[in-house]
Chain A
C-alpha cells in the first residue's frame, strides 16, 4: 500500500506538481474555488432540508443544486489528487488527512442514507415544519462538509 503512494509521488504527475512553476498554485486555487462552489451548493440544499425556502419544491430544488455540488466535487477530486500527488507518501500518514478521508466518507455515506431512507421518508412533506429526519440529514451533511473543509486546511499544520 505504501509503495502505491510512493509510486504516485514519483510518477510524472507528482514530479510535475513539484517542479512546474504554475501547476501547484493552480491546483491550490482550483481547490479553494471548488470548495466555495461545493459548500454553497451543499449549504443551500441542507438549508432547504432544514426548513428554509419552503415555497420551493424539494425534489427539483435538490436535483438542481446537486448538479452544482457534483460538478464542484469533481473539481475537488481532481485538484485534490494533484496536490496529494506532490507529497503522497508523506501526506497519507498525516493524521488530519486520514481524518479528512473519514469525514468525506461520512459526507458521502449521508448522501446514500438520504437517497435510501430520508427521501422516501419525507415524500409526503408538503411544506411547513420539516420532519425530524430531514433536519437531521441536513445538519449531518452541513457539519460533515464543514469538518472536511476544516480538516483540509489543517493538513499543513500537522
Chain B
C-alpha cells in the first residue's frame, strides 16, 4: 500500500475522531450570549420531557419559550417537576435565540428563592 494512501487514511480517521469533541456540546451557537437577559413570570405551561425541558412564560406582552436542561440533569440539580410546574413564578437568566423570536436558552433559573444551574 502506498505511503500516500496510508497517510490519507490516517488523516481521515483523525478527522473523524477529532471532529467529535468540537461538536459534542450543542445549543449555544444560535443564542446571543453577548446579551444575556432575565425573563420573569408565572409558568403558563411546562413540558418535562427529553431532549429538553421547556416552560412557557408571559413576559412584557409576549409568551417566551424557555429551553432548560434535559430531565436527567434537571433532576440531578434538584430542579424536579414540582419546581417548574405551572403557576410557579420563575426567573430565567439566559440568552435569546437568534433563530426563533421569544425563545431563550436558560443558563440558570430561580424559583421560590432557589437558583438552579442548567449547565
Q: Which residues does A use to contact B, with CB under 8 Å? A: 17-21, 23-25, 39, 43, 47, 50-54, 86-87, 142, 146, 149-150, 153-154, 156-157
Contacts and interface: CB of A to CB of B under 8 A. Distances in A.
A18 B51 CA distance: 7
Please report whether the interface of chain B is mostly helix, strand, loop or mixed according to DSSP: helix
Contacts of B37: none
Contact of A51 (B5, B30, B50): B5
A142 B12 contact: yes
B49 interface: yes
Contacts of B72: 21, 25
A35 to B, nearest CB: 10
B33 interface: no
Please report whether the interface of chain A is mostly helix, strand, loop or mixed according to DSSP: helix
- Which bucket holds chain B's interface residue count? 20 to 34
B2 interface: yes
Contacts of B29: 157
A25 to B, nearest CB: 6
Contacts of A19: 49-50
B1 interface: yes
B12 A146 contact: yes
Contact of B51 (A43, A47, A53, A86): A86
B6 interface: yes
Given A52-B6, A54-B1, A154-B23, A24 B51 contact: yes
Given A18-B50, A24-B51, A87-B51, A51 B16 contact: no
A86 B16 CA distance: 27
A156 B16 contact: no
Contacts of B30: 157
A52 B50 contact: no
Given A24-B70, A146-B16, A154-B23, A50 B50 contact: no
B26 A157 contact: yes
A142 B13 CA distance: 10
Interface string B1-25: 1100110010011011001100100
Pick the most buried of B16, B23, B29: most chain A CB atoms within 10 A of its CB.
B16
Interface in B26-58: 26-27, 29-30, 49-51
Contacts of B12: 43, 142, 146
B71 interface: yes
